[in-house]
Amino acid sequence: MPFIRPFAVERWFAKYEFTTEINVAESCIKPLTLAELCSIAGVDPASLFGDEPLGYVDAAGSPGLRALVSGTYSQSTPEEVLITQGAIEANFVLHCALVEPGDVVICQFPAYQQLHEVARARGAEVRFWRLEPENGFAPDVDDLKALATGRVKLIVLNNPHNPTGAVLDEGGLREVIKIADSCGAMVHVDEVYHGIFHQEPVPTARALDPRVSVTSGMSKVYGLSGIRLGWVSAPRKVIEACAVVRDYTSICPSCLSERVSSVVLARRGAFLARSSSLARQNLEIVTGWMAQNREFLSWALPGGGVVGFPRYAAPLTSERLCAQLAEEHGVLLIPGACFDMENRFRLGFGYDTEKLRVGLSRLESFLKVL
């Protein structure tokens, strides 16, 4: 028996991501080319790498990069940042460092599976803070209060949320922090989609309370999923505990990824403007398409990020629907079953606009003949 449950979304991608023509499942912004990156940043490609050796770097991440990351969070210092191999490693080392057998961990549901399964594999009791479809998946803080009893070690949320795009506003975040205080728990907010909002922007949770731990990275809102760079920003003692775990995983960040990330974060506003423009344009297309197909589909309009979680009316399981769509029509979606919810699929709208149009057209034709 494996020590941890198979990661359903990643297993689905492993099967279909690179063999399916049109990807409308991905949760990232369309990846940048090196030429596009250098154009936006106003740098020469040769200057990115220069004559520096391609060796190990500071295990915590270079001081300059940690300063750029900490600068995005008020009440944070470079010593309160650990650079990791993607946000997925950041989440992993954080939960391995904080969670012990017998602890209680509260996590939003549905959720990116890693956010609850690492804790479960560590021997914790996992309680789900359920985001109800009838409420548009809006997080209800009163439901969280009812769960926050006993030996609660950690409250975990994803804001903006994957797979629904729901956003917990500043008032809600403050309530979560207050609830955590009342039961002696810590708070972890996965903020990989922070920076793309379709409503009033919400501050990072780290700016609201320096005791909060946040994770993020370059993959989702910066369009740099392939460089595999992320981070934990947290209190110094938490960072030190994470560093102990990370010695057993990747040891240190990639020097090439650090250099690319430093260039982008130094010009963060320009890159987020590119991402936000593409997300707004594509969301408008999807919103119009959903309205035209309300006979088959319904959804809660995403408040942030580049994913939504539509419900469909068809006599197929989500895995069968998505497999048939990929294998017969060349369109990739993520089944709701990968998030333990049926009759839904995750739709990503952060990639190429024209391919999004093609994918939606094929999906519409497919649904009409079911």
pLDDT digits (tens, 9 = 90+) for 294-324: 999 999 999 999 999 999 998 999 999 999 9
pLDDT at 370 (0 to 100): 82
Last residue of a domain, one of 217, 242, 267: 267
Residue 2 confidence (pLDDT) above 80? no
Angle at 181 between CA 176 and CA 184, to 5 degrees: 120
Q: What is the pLDDT of residue 27?
A: 97
CATH (domain of 341): 3.90.1150.10
Domain co-membership, 223 together with 280: no
Last residue of a domain, one of 220, 252, 267: 267
pLDDT digits (tens, 9 = 90+) for 110-169: 999 999 999 999 999 999 999 999 999 999 999 999 999 988 999 999 999 999 999 999
Statement: residue 333 has pLDDT above 70: yes
Residue 45 within any structural domain of the chain: no
What's the CA gap between 41 and 315, in Å, rounded?
49
User: Where is the domain boundary, 267, 301, 321?
Assistant: 267
Q: Is residue 171 domain-shared with residue 234, that is, in the same domain?
A: yes
User: Do residue 84 and residue 25 come from a single domain?
Assistant: no
Is the same domain home to 204 and 100? yes
Measured distance CA(27)–CA(351) in Å, rounded? 9
CA–CA separation, 300 and 338 (whole Å):
19
Q: What does the alpha-carbon distance between residue 255 and residue 231 come to, in Å, rounded to a whole number?
A: 15
In this structure, are 281 and 295 located in the same domain? Answer: yes
Alpha helices, H only, 184-316: 205-208, 236-246, 255-265, 268-292
Residue 236 is classified by DSSP as H
CA torsion angle for 201, 202, 204, 209 (degrees, to 10)?
150
Structural domain including 29 reads: 8-34+270-364
* Cβ atoms of 87 and 192 closer than 8 Å: yes
pLDDT tens digits for 185-200?
999 999 999 999 999 9
Whether the bond into 63 is cis, omega within 30 of 0: no
**pLDDT tens sequence across 259-299:** 999 999 999 999 999 999 999 999 999 999 999 999 999 99
Same domain for 113 and 181? Answer: yes
Same domain, 189 and 228: yes
- What was the pLDDT predicted at 363? 97
Examine the domain organization and report whether 91 and 238 are in the same domain: yes
Quote the CA–CA distance of 101 and 273 in Å, as a whole number: 43
**What tens digit of pLDDT does each residue of 46-91 get?**
888 877 889 999 999 999 999 999 999 987 999 999 999 999 999 9
**List of residues 6+ apart from 176 with CB closer than 8 A:** 141, 144, 155, 157, 168, 187
| Residue 69 neighbours by CB distance under 10 Å | 26
60 with 26, same domain: the answer is no
One domain, residues 91 and 239: yes
Is the predicted pLDDT of residue 361 greater than 70, yes or no? yes
Query: Is pLDDT at 1 greater than 80 in this prediction?
Result: no
Q: Is the pTM of this model over 0.75?
A: yes
The whole-angstrom separation of Cα 54 and Cα 317 is 48
Q: Look at the chain and report how many structural domains it folds into.
A: 2
**Does a structural domain hold residue 369?**
no
How does pLDDT run across 7-46, given as a tens digit for each residue? 999 999 999 999 999 999 999 999 999 999 999 999 998 8
In DSSP terms, 156 is beta-bridged to 107, 188
User: Which of the 8 DSSP states describes residue 304?
Assistant: B
Are 100 and 218 contained in the same domain?
yes
Residue 111 lies in a domain: yes
Counting residues of the chain whose pLDDT is more than 70, the rounded percentage is: 99
Query: Are residues 327 and 242 both part of a single domain?
Result: no
